[in-house]
Structure 1
């Protein structure tokens, strides 16, 4: 049938397929019945004609709770290619799809039948490490494996990936497809996804352009109606055109509905009229066909064999008449032996049951699959069935699916009205299997359903809290709040109340919460620890400590956190205790934290989450060299585990620290990746922090317009919620940009805000780590006296804390503000300090000392220091500071060569990441695994990178990308 009135859409889709060498994809959106599937079918036809391979998956409402069901359908035709994937990707994808053993040809979703999980499996609610632990690598490793597999398929033959009814895809599959959609920029792959208007889906956030399929024009609607129902009387034709209102499905279906079948109902919504049109056709079918249709509608698989097996069970238990049952007979158990024997030789005969439905154009049967003509048919048939009929169908399907425990559990649950601990336990196991495969949303749904069927109040509460914890892990705040609220209504034990109180604090590190939550959480942690539940207490206290970083609860709250931490029955060197102490008392406990960090740093790389804790702790106490090293050690493990929720946190700490040290060559790609992944994983304040670091880097490089734009972007994210570390870094970036432009009054005003307790940019720990910049701005702005007051306020901190950043800043500030000959002694003392890991600070000291000497007409002496500063700043890529050193050298009578652009001046941050890894000797495939890209995308980037750097091969990259290495 031709598509009427869709010329523009068809042209756009054909153009998309013709231009697939560029990044391609589209999201087709529209109301039910508007013709999205017809547009997709037309695109598939064009693609097939152009020689593309087509892979398709279709979302089904019945399988939304089956993890990776949609992905299984999409990849099943190319499953043989999994064997060539890198080991971790292969294992993650096979586990996700349930393909550890030979797959069943008709299956759509894998079943974790190997699961040994028991109903008593515990999470944070039961004193374990909780939802943060994952074993399968999660959606992101599965996403990378899918991307790699599709890229390999597309290398042999360009590929069209289709997701129909994407709003009904299970969440894990939708997340994977969104992951892939963001990363097909360099692949010969086109993705087309069809979504119902207004329905949520991760694919909406994947960056695909949207094509809205609207209602047909009057002329197109009339042409369509006349082509499908040419014999209509004029009055009926006008009535249908009016009520269909340009909806193509309505134009096709409504002519078959007569008045004695329910009429068209002028006030009924279009969706209701369409459903009545479908059910009117179903009502005319014989009972066996109606029964089979109901089973097919409720089954999440399209397998004809499954549908016929379950139908056989129902019909065997009730009379084959159209009069309906006189009672509600249960489905008797199917014989476990002989079921296949019944179906296999008699499939053709059994198919006759569905023949009337096929003739009525409700379903079609192809290749062992039964498919509805439209998704609305499936939902209409299920909705119109009586409760008893639906229950029998679910029980029959459960009996048929004994070899598929996940699906069986859901059908048994759908057929169970009251509490049933046996069925709840089955759902527990299904949840454990889903979580093991990284499908958190499916696990949440299974646990919530298990809670509904729990026989005991305590079991119900536990399952709700376990589901809430997983919802927190997946970022589903509304779901988590609802589950916690339901659990609280049951009347919780003290320990369960503590868990409920802690769970919701995981969102956004509590940034948007009132600061009164800090002492509340600290006291809660103390009471839970006193009852002997140490692990939940640690996690609750960590939540309180995080709030001390993002907000300012006051000294009393901080001391309470420290007091509770001191009372925990854990060794002082426990990494979590070290991190909590660093966040709550960065100066008063600085010595203890640094001792613990130095002891623990020797084991860096053993546990990426521990390294992440320690890297964050090191930043709090101003040990930026340690923070950069520990965060860098955490990143590979977090990548390998697919923990993209934690990875941007480690990268943000790494980039923040390295920018302070002057290692821009490493900080640039780390900050870019942190911002990109934080945005993708829904972490706005980590995105803001990484963006603020990018602003600081731009200012250090003299790119002041970009610095201001990035600072403004980060501030828009952070200011409404008062995310203090972000706002402090924003002010640093603005101050640096103002200094490089000679606006020292503005620079002092920007930087001094960080020290003002009443300002949103005040952050207790970070305020002491910008002293060199603040002292420089104060000196140039004529505010030296005010700066000396600042130093007097900070000197007590230095007496109690060995914070490296604090002492380096103080030594610099004392020297530049000191009078007369005292300054020379202070400069010399500052340069004698061990700054081997702090090249930017050392260069800044040389510059300041050279300037001081030149102002005293000691030009010859000044040149050595100014030259050292210029060379160091050039090597580090700190262009703004390097230019200042050149100006001072000219004043001292020495000219300077122009600075040649470094590699990071010529490459984007993303390109720099790839180039650096290639220079280290990694293959394209290894780089792709690190950066969650396909290896072909990496190759495309390298071909763009080589001309920018003036090289012809990756063998030249180490020479071009050499970076400043501080003195040992």
Structure 2
């Protein structure tokens, strides 16, 4: 079979054909996604056609789309092409999802939907459509999909495992990102010599040996070249081609030349039609026929395309004109004079006048220089794209608007606004290019401040280290004072505060950030203000932040983003109960709104709190989901935090090997960027793991590093919350005297902040390190403190108190605190500490058997999360909506969960999961 042959066999593609056949044939049992990657003309489309034929034989639903370079600026055009046959089922979707997907396609008004909410809607739409027979999704030229479509389909592809859907996408080498990123790849290489010779002989039999040899050398195993180059050679006549130098003339260029040569021999009317079709952002035959006369200078008719069809350049039916290969489109545009390309765009702008977004891009394509009218229209197109949730398209429209704007200041403003949108997308490369374009126009001070904020915003301020926190604060002070830009000043201060948190800023820089923040006209409990103070000065302003959080918590009506921000602030100052409440309250709305970037941060904060409190049932699923979403939303710092928190929880549960592996994975993320919170949390995981195994000296060595200012894991704020671990290690390893210095330092910090986590650790340290004469009173003081919401901390104090009582030869009195500690450790799943309490109880004369908790270690983090939600009474659809999974994937997980928990019915989940998650 050749590139264009519909037959069943492909020369030299047995391995690739078998892989695709296996995947398509498995559709009714499971789903999956595969990206077929290779150079232009390598035969990717032929493989997808082969898969389509098999899907027809299996009676699968087949949905397909083809990316085109001309349509890459039309938001969701590729996605709409794919799902159009099943879009009628959108009425079956939950209301927010239905509204999101219809708004994305411009079929309904509404607020700008989040891209991930659109993606969830598409996932459920496809899952419903495939429920009967299964479905095959085919995406040709995926590298030219419009970016919103590519992002949605990538999201869907990562979640197809349990649905009867297979997605196959063909993408060309040299294109990064898009649908191909993070998905399984099937590399299609050039044909071997035997297969190449067989293909050439099948398509061009009877060639002279010298011609055949030269063509094989020139094609170098590329199937399209083996088909097209003999045609080009035949057009040059019977003379053999001249020797070629492949290293100077890339194969793609030679193929484009071959296509261009075939076009040059066509009548002028056909050439005009092909040029219009090549620059068009659609494939409508009527549009090409309507616009071509302006290029040809004469009337044209559909029959004028016959020579192009005969030359195998295009396929034409009653409504469409499509190029046989994408290289033909680019070859035609490259050979056409500039004036003709401009004329083609201008003509198409008139033809598609009723479609404003398409019209403006063609008008822009017809501009030779700045044009304020077109620039204004592009700005409107950007706003329209934002309302549809197509932020990448909005960035492109604003960028082109800025390029076409006459006034330099206004041009710079539009380019900066484009960069601002690109910041939200996490596109550092795009932001950099836009900022360079804006700077070339000349920037005012206020615009320079905007540029500075954008440069400092990536990686929470760690990617760009040219401007320190103090310098950012100075700019913020001037922006607010001289230009009234309080919002921009807050943004700059937020970047400065994050740098203080993630890296090690000096006291002078932190003080300057605090001073400028407190000088701004903002309420004392303004959420942005509180977050800046927490990140910049968690000790010095910890009490201020806690008081502000209390005032806010007394009011109702905070939105999800505000709650998430407040939760993050509470984490940093050690108010874990408030942090959990705020973050947990934000989750439902963040999920419903599709704000996965903020959801990642909320989950990471929850996981971090849970790690310190050993709340494994809540924390392990939160950490796993945060890590996965961090990869999906390009937030590597929060991937590191989530993995480090998971490592602490694994250590708390006695899974030392997993803890070590997770800590190493987190540290790999943290070392390169000197991300101290990640390194500190990974170090805590190592220390707690050593504690769990009874290696107290090793634990002390690991944990002591967190309090050494010269160590990369030192963090001025986070070290305050690990005192219990350090003191426990010191007390059991003969390091009581050595740890006193650290405790003394943190006592001083405690006089400046009311941080609950710090003061819980200080109460424990005072009791454990005290002389016997004072110890009992200090233990009672620690246990009388309000610690009901801190069960792990309270149980550790009870264990230490019981141990002290037994050493004082008071075994009967020791049993009550030891028994209480054991029960809490059992409920939390912190097996090493539970076993330690049992050993002490046995030494105190009381037998204590292990209480098994069914299924705790058998369930994966996601299974535990699904079981918890199902136990709360949520349906599979509701669980899927919450976790961004199809309801069929949820059903598959529950099918696996039941035997692991030893149950047979959903009604039994509540009791079992309640036992797993209770304290």
Determine if the TM-score, normalized by the shorter chain, exceeds 0.5.
yes
Deviation string, structure 1 residues 857-891 (Cα, Å, up to 9, x no partner): 11111111111000011111111211111111111
Q: Partners of 1:276 and 1:862 in 2: how far apart? A: 89
Question: What residue number does 1:15 align with?
Answer: 22
Bigger Cα displacement from structure 2, 809-818 vs 261-270: 261-270
Per-residue deviation, 1:201 = 2.7
State how 1:402-481 maps to structure 2 within 5 Å. 402-481=353-432
Per-residue deviation, 1:658 = 2.2
- 2:148 maps to 1:172: yes
- 2:131 maps to 1:144: no
CA contact (8 A) 1:69 1:173 kept: yes
Match of 1:544, SS? helix
- 2:105 maps to 1:97: yes
Bigger Cα displacement from structure 2, 534-543 vs 232-241: 232-241
Question: What residue number does 1:212 align with?
Answer: 187
Q: Partners of 1:446 and 1:411 in 2: how far apart? A: 12
- 2:754 maps to 1:779: no
State how 1:390-405 maps to structure 2 within 5 Å. 390-405=341-356
Deviation string, structure 1 residues 512-551 (Cα, Å, up to 9, x no partner): 4448610011111111110211111111111111111101
Question: What residue number does 1:959 align with?
Answer: 911
Q: Partners of 1:632 and 1:592 in 2: how far apart? A: 23
CA contact (8 A) 2:590 2:596 kept: yes
Question: What residue number does 1:109 align with?
Answer: none
Deviation string, structure 1 residues 898-952 (Cα, Å, up to 9, x no partner): 2213443221001111111111111111111110100111111111111111112
Per-residue deviation, 1:843 = 0.9
Q: Aligned pair in 2 of structure 1 residues 366, 892: CA closer, same or farther (>3 Å)? A: farther
State how 1:54-93 maps to structure 2 within 5 Å. 54-93=62-101
Question: What residue number does 1:528 align with?
Answer: 479
2:457 corresponds to which of 486, 497, 506: 506
Deviation string, structure 1 residues 673-698 (Cα, Å, up to 9, x no partner): 00110011111110000000000000
Q: Partners of 1:889 and 1:73 in 2: how far apart? A: 68
CA contact (8 A) 1:264 1:273 kept: no
Deviation string, structure 1 residues 732-789 (Cα, Å, up to 9, x no partner): 1111110111111111111111111111111111111111111111111111112222
Bigger Cα displacement from structure 2, 30-39 vs 439-448: 439-448
Per-residue deviation, 1:562 = 0.8
- 2:313 maps to 1:362: yes
Q: Partners of 2:809 and 2:702 in 1: how far apart? A: 32
2:172 corresponds to which of 180, 188, 196: 196
- 2:219 maps to 1:238: no
Match of 2:136, SS? strand
Question: What residue number does 1:334 align with?
Answer: none
Question: What residue number does 1:52 align with?
Answer: 60
CA contact (8 A) 1:605 1:633 kept: no
Q: Partners of 2:243 and 2:370 in 1: how far apart? A: 41
Q: Partners of 2:865 and 2:115 in 1: how far apart? A: 23
CA contact (8 A) 1:423 1:450 kept: yes
Q: Partners of 1:246 and 1:438 in 2: how far apart? A: 43
State how 1:806-845 maps to structure 2 within 5 Å. 806-845=758-797
Deviation string, structure 1 residues 644-700 (Cα, Å, up to 9, x no partner): 111111111111112222322111111110011001111111000000000000011
Question: What residue number does 2:633 align with?
Answer: 681
1:795 corresponds to which of 725, 747, 756: 747
Question: What residue number does 2:325 align with?
Answer: 374
Match of 1:371, SS? strand
Question: What residue number does 1:154 align with?
Answer: 130
Per-residue deviation, 1:312 = 4.2
Q: Partners of 2:67 and 2:359 in 1: how far apart? A: 19
CA contact (8 A) 2:294 2:343 kept: no
2:808 corresponds to which of 851, 856, 877: 856
Deviation string, structure 1 residues 77-109 (Cα, Å, up to 9, x no partner): 111111111111111111112223xxxxxxxxx
Q: Partners of 2:467 and 2:358 in 1: how far apart? A: 46
Q: Partners of 1:493 and 1:656 in 2: how far apart? A: 42
- 2:667 maps to 1:667: no
Q: Aligned pair in 2 of structure 1 residues 963, 508: CA closer, same or farther (>3 Å)? A: farther
CA contact (8 A) 2:480 2:489 kept: yes
Per-residue deviation, 1:619 = 1.2
Question: What residue number does 1:266 align with?
Answer: 244
Question: What residue number does 1:587 align with?
Answer: 539
1:292 corresponds to which of 233, 252, 273: 273
Question: What residue number does 1:108 align with?
Answer: none
Question: What residue number does 1:27 align with?
Answer: 35
Q: Partners of 1:242 and 1:679 in 2: how far apart? A: 43
Per-residue deviation, 1:25 = 2.5
Question: What residue number does 2:696 align with?
Answer: 744
- 2:733 maps to 1:758: no
CA contact (8 A) 1:605 1:637 kept: no
Per-residue deviation, 1:587 = 1.8
Q: Partners of 1:7 and 1:592 in 2: how far apart? A: 69
Per-residue deviation, 1:265 = 6.8
Question: What residue number does 2:596 align with?
Answer: 644
2:203 corresponds to which of 203, 225, 228: 228
- 2:283 maps to 1:302: yes
Per-residue deviation, 1:604 = 6.1
Question: What residue number does 1:127 align with?
Answer: none
State how 1:699-714 maps to structure 2 within 5 Å. 699-714=651-666
Question: What residue number does 1:342 align with?
Answer: none
Question: What residue number does 2:868 align with?
Answer: 916
Q: Partners of 2:858 and 2:527 in 1: how far apart? A: 40
Per-residue deviation, 1:966 = 8.4
CA contact (8 A) 1:166 1:201 kept: no
Q: Partners of 1:30 and 1:792 in 2: how far apart? A: 63
Match of 2:496, SS? helix
Per-residue deviation, 1:203 = 2.7
Per-residue deviation, 1:238 = 2.4
Q: Partners of 1:366 and 1:882 in 2: how far apart? A: 75
CA contact (8 A) 2:853 2:915 kept: no
CA contact (8 A) 2:534 2:569 kept: yes
Greater relative CO (CA pairs within 8 A, separation 6+): 1
Q: Aligned pair in 2 of structure 1 residues 425, 511: CA closer, same or farther (>3 Å)? A: same
Bigger Cα displacement from structure 2, 366-375 vs 81-90: 366-375
Q: Aligned pair in 2 of structure 1 residues 512, 313: CA closer, same or farther (>3 Å)? A: closer
CA contact (8 A) 2:35 2:183 kept: no
Question: What residue number does 2:448 align with?
Answer: 497
TM-score, reference length from structure 1: 0.91
CA contact (8 A) 1:288 1:353 kept: yes
Match of 2:903, SS? coil
Q: Partners of 1:264 and 1:292 in 2: how far apart? A: 33
Computed over aligned residues only, the root mean square deviation of the Cα atoms, in angstroms, reads 1.8
Per-residue deviation, 1:230 = 2.1
- Structure 2 gaps, min length 5: none
Q: Aligned pair in 2 of structure 1 residues 515, 61: CA closer, same or farther (>3 Å)? A: closer
1:181 corresponds to which of 129, 135, 157: 157
Question: What residue number does 1:40 align with?
Answer: 48
CA contact (8 A) 2:456 2:462 kept: no
Q: Aligned pair in 2 of structure 1 residues 941, 366: CA closer, same or farther (>3 Å)? A: farther
- Structure 1 gaps, min length 5: 101-113, 116-134, 321-348
Per-residue deviation, 1:963 = 5.1
1:690 corresponds to which of 626, 636, 642: 642
TM-score, reference length from structure 2: 0.96
